[in-house]
Structure 1
């Protein structure tokens, strides 16, 4: 486990990367088809109605873990879309069942499933559906987590909790929800911008073979927790630096306008153990295809190797990425029309990542 070996050193050194050199590399835009090839379309079992997919995770076998915000439930589907089992949150948190709205659910190795709700509750299940442990709150608020080996890593809020002076941190828990430690992380460049929720829910952190990477709203590239030697940062060709933070004194309308005037980092995904993918919104219209419709769906995408195995490339996606992993990108298509005329579940699009050769 990376954290058990490096936690003492990280706690001593914190995240001060001032002693490291940071090199910025350009990430040119290429056509989407040069990076992703549509492999198949998955139809989720219509016997289970999904109201709204708030989060989707995949494991090495291609199975889907679907968090349904409207149905307030979490379901496991096979790689072909067959329903396998639900994960009954009320059995873990019976007193909170009525207020439970899952925003994120992830596989934890081969043995567990972790679910987090908007109210801060966390539940851990065995993959066969048994409740292992649950809590109404972890030690600090969190808007996202990732899993690595047998550890759960929650990214804490980018602001002091209860007027404390503590730095933001990644809080590490065991599957039994025992706190194992904390690793301090950097403050966001734009504190006020990051005071509220934003971006793709639950996608502010992801775990890789070489440790977790995290983002803030306004990040040009993801930030590695483990930093050593030269730090290679990617600058997508479409990226435009936000010139200033929001002002605390701005009206809500003014904040909204300022938010939409500049690129905002939407999320980070692990395409595989060493390849990170960042998603950006509010891309300038000149990067969008001529005659494009549903412009609000378009996102900028940047792909880079954590190990520098290939040159970073960027592209424009006509859909908001839903999940990624094990060499595939997943998107959501329109709901299918059932034979009886009813509207079924959204179709899942699976794209194979075409690894750059240079």
Structure 2
């Protein structure tokens, strides 16, 4: 086995050992056995909320244990294949096994970052709002590009995406949109994307082919499940109904089924037009409002716990976090971590894991390195 591959094998094995240690392997296996026994007892459904919490914990623990076992087995199988290929002089077997080992290295690196997702809502599904900035068609087109980027990322990550609400731009793009991304740790991964995203390019809408700078804002907040209690007084809210808009023009909906809820004390506004039923849209909008209020509470707690570091780690609304330059050169740069990608099209096609991983580590560890903006 080549020295380079031996080194990678050692790194993967060490990473798997760290993942086991972080999970407290033996204790977790005993806990999983206990959860499996409880899951087979029909009486657990006498308390539906407790049963749902138990089944959720079981599913997450089983998924993690299965993944770590799979990594270990794949590593051992690949090492054996290399030995077999070298013994038989079959370079194709060796090459394929080495490719698998490199892939395992990337996977364990991601799983190590995922161990940082320990916040109380990190495992939840997430809402993602995208809003175009000032600049009309140019910014609205940019907002739609971001919406597509996050949809592609979710699909690449084997997560489900639902479009809850969308306001089209006058000529192209969108004024705003709200996505619901469903998957394990969806909020934990996506939360680092909140902030202002900047695009620099030669505008396809400018007849003189001038360079334009556009801005769009992203806001990420977790879906609040039954284990998190949020009280909202209806008397504090204004509820408006309106006719849904989107592809298909006036024929999308001929009734006022879309629902907008304004929480007067905080000024938070949510809207849903996904369903033709006003009742269903209203229920979804209430859930979105509870999620926004919960996210605001999480943000207050974080700021209180990290008062000194908040100016360096806060990635909330209004904070520019990333620049995407398409002309005169090709570069995407995260302004918090300094991470760069020289192929913007791959990023816009959903390849944003590297930015997420670095931003998550930066947020957790409070990295204080200043990163300069790029022109």
Q: What TM bracket, shorter-length normalisation? A: under 0.3
Higher relative contact order (CA 8 A, sep 6+): 1
Q: Give the structure with the higher percent strand.
A: 1
Return the index of the structure with the highest Cα Rg. 2
* TM-score (norm. length: structure 1): 0.23
